[in-house]
């Protein structure tokens, strides 16, 4: 139901009741190869979509009254299916009025800025701007319904199959042949674009990950958790991508190097932001490990690792484990007396490199346990007794540190080898593998190929202490304020995630060459955080984000809406200004070049 009509703008409650008759029969239909339920759902949504075309045209033909005090609910989960056509039309009226209001306010502000700058601009009346805003919204919906008309039964069937596979876990998915091709292109990074991993969920295009070194990464405003609502090419009118299939949305987001795309995104706090990104190929150097020396009371080595990369196709290619080893050696030569390994926003990658990296800091022993569907657990060890670096070690993590990052941080925490600092990690402790369905099916199915592929969860990671990083992630030894730690974010917020569980711990001995007093470190940190103004502001921002996510209604009265937006903008600006005041740290780059100031 969520995939068919998440925002409840098409189906009636009576339609839902018809579909509910199949609620406990879907598995039987799958076993029998029957599509009776699917066909009924497809027929209903196609019929209701055609009817809805008349609603938006009729509503947008007349001016809206923005003096009327009313509200609109923006969260589809909080809405109920309309019980009548009149109730459904009213829901459409509020949605279209809200979208026109947003456009209208943007146009008013744009006109005001031009006039203040003394630029030549026609000063349009409120009525003219309101009409223009409605026409723009209407054009958006005309384009949207054209795309709805082009949705095929095969595409609907793919969505239906995925609604079944995702009940097993959020990462098990069916890929139709065209979708698999898109995934391969995105995974290898062959196409020029913005460098963001996207997911279609409940009719929304959500940012899951930002590729290190990509245009999005360098621009800095697009973050995991953002929802892309509109896509515009340079200065062209943006188009709505809500309710659009992911591969269709990606077609508008991708583009040639040097061209600009403007993304209208909804932030986790409910605010809306237009983010301009110039498309480019990934800046390869920014994806690799980089190091500097922090010049403080002592020399502290700092290594930023954006991802656990590995080039298995190329013998002379780059591997993150080997690169971090080289950077550690450089820092030792430079006289470092402590090391910070930064895994924030590192979404993972090569498991082998995570194991190799952990081995740089311990003598030898298990790093991670991997369990397959058969229930057998395999221990992956570091067998090299050499310790490349045995001094003080801090590992930085946040809510976007996932998979291999969590494995490395968890191993160092279990060995009591490092102090883990930051906020709780993402909590993804599973491994996926692609199975080509064409290869799996017998010869009699050849005339019907291609069938696409199935991405299936095949393994689960476990810490050497027996717990899994699944759902809970890694809890830092020292927790720092982070606005996103208050958000509903991470694996635990996905639908149907695999549970946290435990297996027998591996045999290992904790690091005994340095006695870390974790309780004292934590107490000292808490005192410093309590007296630090920047951390206090971050804490406030986190509380505000949490509150904003709960408030999913917006006023449809012009003055109230503008007051709400100005208040949200002022709060966001206050945090930005506070962050600018944070003093940077003087760092000496190990490569030839000027010193850098890092926050």
Supply the DSSP symbol for 78: G
| Burial readout 24-43 (b: 16 or more C-beta within 10 A, e: otherwise) | eebeeeeeeeeeebbeebbe
Contact of 287 with 346, CB cutoff 8 Å: no
Q: Is 182 helix (H, G, I), strand (E, B) or coil?
A: helix
Query: Which of 408, 239, 449, 233 is closest to 307 using CA atoms?
Result: 408
Contact of 514 with 457, CB cutoff 8 Å: no
Q: DSSP for 426-453, please give it.
A: ----EEEEEEEHHHHS-GGGGGG----E
Q: Is 102 helix (H, G, I), strand (E, B) or coil?
A: helix
Give dist(CA 136, CA 152) in Å, integer: 27
Dihedral pair phi/psi, residue 520, rounded to 5°: -70, -40
Q: Is 77 helix (H, G, I), strand (E, B) or coil?
A: helix
Contact of 328 with 316, CB cutoff 8 Å: no
Catalytic site residues?
403, 414, 428
Give dist(CA 212, CA 59) in Å, integer: 44
Contact of 458 with 432, CB cutoff 8 Å: yes
Contact of 562 with 264, CB cutoff 8 Å: no
Query: Which of 420, 406, 410, 415 is closest to 340 using CA atoms?
Result: 420
Give dist(CA 212, CA 290) in Å, integer: 12
Kindly report the number of other CB atoms within 10 A of residue 526's CB atom.
Answer: 12
Instruction: Name all contacts of 82-87 with Cβ < 8 Å and 24+ positions apart.
Output: 82/8, 82/12, 82/13, 83/12, 83/13, 83/14, 84/12, 85/12
Give dist(CA 418, CA 394) in Å, integer: 5
Contact of 343 with 305, CB cutoff 8 Å: yes
Query: Which of 429, 541, 427, 543 is closest to 489 using CA atoms?
Result: 427
């Amino acid at each position: 139901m969520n995939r068919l009509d998440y925002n409840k703008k098409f189906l009636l409650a009576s339609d839902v009741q018809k579909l509910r008759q199949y609620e406990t029969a879907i598995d039987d239909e799958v076993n029998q190869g029957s599509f009776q339920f699917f066909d009924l759902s497809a027929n209903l949504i196609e019929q209701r979509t055609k009817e809805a075309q008349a609603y938006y045209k009729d509503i947008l033909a007349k001016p809206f009254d923005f003096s009327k005090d009313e509200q609109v609910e923006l969260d589809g989960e909080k809405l109920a299916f309309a019980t009548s056509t009149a109730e459904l039309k009213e829901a459409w009226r509020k949605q279209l009025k809200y979208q026109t209001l947003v456009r209208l306010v943007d146009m008013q502000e744009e006109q005001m800025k031009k006039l203040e700058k003394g630029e030549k601009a026609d000063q349009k009346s409120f009525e003219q701007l309101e009409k223009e805003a409605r026409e723009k919204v209407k054009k958006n919906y005309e384009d949207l319904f054209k795309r709805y008309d082009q949705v095929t039964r095969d595409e609907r069937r793919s969505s239906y199959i995925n609604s079944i596979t995702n009940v097993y876990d959020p990462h098990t998915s069916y890929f139709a042949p065209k979708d698999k091709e898109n995934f391969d292109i995105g995974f290898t990074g062959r196409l020029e674009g913005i460098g963001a991993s996207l997911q279609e969920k409940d009719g929304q295009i959500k940012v899951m990950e930002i590729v290190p070194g990509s245009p999005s990464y360098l621009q800095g405003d697009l973050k995991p958790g953002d929802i892309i609502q509109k896509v515009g090419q340079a200065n062209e009118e943006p188009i709505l991508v809500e309710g659009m299939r992911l591969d269709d949305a990606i077609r508008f987001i991708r583009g040639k190097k040097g061209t600009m795309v403007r993304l209208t995104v909804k932030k986790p706090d409910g605010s809306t932001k237009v983010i301009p990104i110039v498309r480019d190929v990934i800046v390869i150097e920014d994806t690799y490990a980089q190091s500097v020396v922090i010049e403080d009371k002592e020399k502290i080595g700092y290594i930023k690792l954006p991802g656990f990369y590995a080039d298995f196709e190329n013998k002379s290619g780059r591997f993150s484990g080997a690169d971090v080893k080289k950077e550690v050696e450089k820092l030792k030569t430079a006289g470092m007396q402590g090391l910070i390994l930064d895994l924030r926003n590192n979404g993972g990658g090569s498991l082998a490199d995570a194991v190799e990296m952990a081995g740089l800091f311990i003598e030898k022993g298990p790093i991670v346990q991997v369990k397959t569907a058969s229930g057998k657990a395999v221990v992956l060890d570091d067998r090299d007794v050499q310790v490349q670096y045995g001094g003080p070690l801090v590992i930085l993590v946040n809510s976007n540190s996932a998979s291999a990052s969590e494995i490395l941080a968890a191993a160092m925490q279990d060995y009591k080898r490092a102090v883990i600092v930051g906020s709780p990690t993402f909590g993804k402790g599973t491994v996926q593998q692609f199975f080509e369905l064409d290869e799996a099916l017998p010869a009699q199915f050849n005339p019907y190929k291609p069938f696409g592929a199935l991405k299936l969860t095949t393994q689960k990671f476990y810490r050497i202490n027996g717990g899994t990083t699944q759902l809970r992630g890694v809890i830092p030894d020292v927790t720092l304020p982070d606005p996103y730690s208050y958000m509903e974010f991470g694996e635990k917020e996905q639908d149907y995630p695999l549970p946290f569980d435990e297996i027998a711990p591996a045999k290992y001995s904790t690091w005994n060459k340095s006695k870390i007093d974790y309780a004292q470190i934590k107490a000292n940190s808490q005192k410093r955080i309590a007296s630090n103004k920047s951390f206090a502001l971050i804490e406030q921002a986190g509380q505000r984000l949490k509150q904003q996510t709960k408030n999913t209604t917006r006023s449809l009265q012009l003055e109230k809406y503008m007051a709400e937006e100005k208040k949200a903008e002022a709060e966001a600006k206050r945090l930005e200004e506070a962050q600018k005041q944070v003093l940077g740290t003087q760092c000496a780059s190990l490569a030839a070049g000027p010193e850098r100031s890092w926050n």
